[in-house]
C-alpha cells in the first residue's frame, strides 16, 4: 500500500481550497517566495509527492490501515512501535541505540515507522515531486510546506532515551491522552537525525514526529473556515493538517500550518531541467549510494538500451 491508496477524490477535495497552482518554473519561483518571504522567522520543512491526490502518510500508518482496513488509533500505533522495538532488541539484539535512532535506521531499510520523511530544502522536495519514472503516469504533483511550531527535536534525555517519549506516562495528560497537543496539529515536532547514511545528508532529510489526527474542539470554534473533520483527515493523513493559504500574512506565532502547491503535469519536465541544470539535482545526487543506483536502473530500464 502507498500514498496512492488513499481515496483520491477526498484528498483532492481537502487540498483544493488551499492550494496554489504552478504551471511553469517561473511561477514556482514566485510561489515559493510567499511562505518563505512572508514568514522569514518561521522554520519550514517540505515534502513532495508525485501525484497531487496522494495522501500524507507514514509507512506505519499505511501498514496498519491496510492490515485493519480502517485508520489506526494512536494506541495501535504505540503497540506496533513497542512490538518493533521488542523484536529489534530481544530477537535481533540491536540493543545499543536509543529508540528514536533505532526507528530511523529501520526506516532506512524499509521497516514501517511513524517517521514522516521531509526535507529542509524546498528544491529537493520539489525534485521528488517532479522526478521522472518510466512507468509512472505523468500527472499533477504536489508540494507541502509544514511550518514548525517549535524547535527541532534533539536526542537529549527526553527524546533520545531507550523508550519513545510519547509512550511514557509523564507525556500523557488527562484521560490518558497525550499532552502538548500531540495529534492536534497545533505543534510540528521535527527531528533532523545525524547522517546515518549518505541519503540523509544528500536529501537534507528530516522527520516529522506526531500522533494520528485527533479531534480539537478549540480549533473547530476558532478556525471553522479551515477546519477539516478529523474523520476525513484520518483517511488521507497520518498527522493532523491545519491548512493555510500561501498569501496569508497574519499567522499566529504559536500556529503550525501547512501550505500546499499543486504542480501541473505539463510543468514537470521544465522544472526537472531547471533543477538539474541550475542546481545539480539528479538521481545520482539525491540517491547517492549503491542502492540508489540499483533502484534507478530497475525503475528506468530504458537506460540499458544503446545510445542512439
Cell, residue 139: 500527472
CB 3 within 8 A of CB 55: yes
CB 254 within 8 A of CB 269: no
Helices (H), 131-265: 198-202, 217-222, 230-236
Beta bridge partners of 261: 20, 143
- DSSP element (H, E) containing 239: none
Report the DSSP pairing between strands 258-263 and 20-22: parallel
Angle between the 268-279 and 25-38 helix axes, to the nearest 10 degrees? 70
Quote the pLDDT of residue 136: 63
Quote the pLDDT of residue 284: 92
Please state, in angstroms and rounded to a whole number, the distance separating the CA atoms of residues 98 and 163: 7
Cell, residue 234: 484520518
Quote the pLDDT of residue 288: 86
CB 98 within 8 A of CB 162: yes
Tens-level pLDDT at each residue, the chain (308 residues): 456 567 889 999 999 999 999 999 999 998 887 666 666 667 889 999 999 999 999 999 999 999 999 999 999 999 999 999 999 999 999 988 899 999 999 999 999 999 999 999 999 999 999 998 766 668 999 999 999 866 788 888 888 889 999 998 766 554 545 555 788 888 889 999 988 888 898 999 999 999 999 887 665 555 555 678 899 999 999 999 989 888 765 666 567 889 999 999 999 999 999 999 999 999 999 998 888 889 888 888 888 888 76
Quote the pLDDT of residue 260: 95
Cell, residue 25: 518554473
Quote the pLDDT of residue 68: 95
Best CA proximity match to 230, nearest among 45, 2, 7, 71: 71
CB 52 within 8 A of CB 20: no
Amino acid at each position: 500500500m502507498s500514498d496512492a491508496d488513499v481515496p483520491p477524490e477526498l484528498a483532492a477535495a481537502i487540498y483544493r481550497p488551499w492550494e496554489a497552482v504552478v504551471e511553469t518554473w517561473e511561477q514556482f519561483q514566485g510561489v515559493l517566495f510567499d511562505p518563505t518571504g512572508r514568514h522569514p522567522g518561521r522554520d519550514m520543512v517540505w515534502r513532495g509527492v508525485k501525484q497531487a491526490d496522494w495522501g500524507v502518510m507514514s509507512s506505519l500508518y499505511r501498514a496498519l490501515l491496510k492490515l485493519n482496513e480502517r485508520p489506526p488509533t494512536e494506541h495501535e500505533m504505540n503497540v506496533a512501535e513497542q512490538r518493533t522495538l521488542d523484536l529489534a532488541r530481544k530477537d535481533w539484539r540491536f540493543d545499543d541505540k536509543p529508540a528514536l535512532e533505532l526507528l530511523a535506521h529501520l526506516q532506512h531499510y524499509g521497516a514501517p515507522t511513524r517517521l514522516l520523511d521531509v526535507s529542509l530544502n524546498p528544491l529537493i522536495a520539489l525534485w521528488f515531486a517532479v522526478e521522472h519514472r518510466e512507468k509512472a503516469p505523468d500527472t499533477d504533483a504536489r508540494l507541502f510546506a509544514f511550518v514548525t511550531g517549535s524547535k527541532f527535536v534533539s536526542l537529549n534525555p527526553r527524546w533520545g532515551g531507550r523508550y519513545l517519549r510519547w509512550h511514557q506516562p509523564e507525556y500523557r495528560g488527562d484521560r490518558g491522552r497525550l499532552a502538548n497537543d500531540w495529534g492536534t496539529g497545533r505543534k510540528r515536532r521535527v527531528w533532523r537525525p545525524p547522517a546515518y547514511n549518505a541519503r540523509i545528508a544528500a536529501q537534507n532529510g528530516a522527520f516529522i514526529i506526531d500522533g494520528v489526527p485527533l479531534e480539537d474542539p478549540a480549533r473547530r470554534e476558532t478556525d471553522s473556515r479551515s477546519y477539516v473533520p478529523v474523520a476525513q483527515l484520518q483517511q488521507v493523513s497520518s498527522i493532523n493538517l491545519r491548512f493555510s493559504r500561501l498569501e496569508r500574512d497574519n499567522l499566529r506565532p504559536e500556529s503550525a500550518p501547512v501550505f500546499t502547491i499543486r504542480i501541473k503535469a505539463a510543468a514537470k519536465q521544465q522544472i526537472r531541467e531547471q533543477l538539474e541544470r541550475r542546481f545539480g539535482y539528479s538521481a545520482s545526487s539525491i540517491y547517492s549510494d549503491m542502492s540508489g543506483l540499483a533502484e534507478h536502473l530497475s525503475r528506468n530500464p530504458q537506460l540499458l538500451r544503446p545510445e542512439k
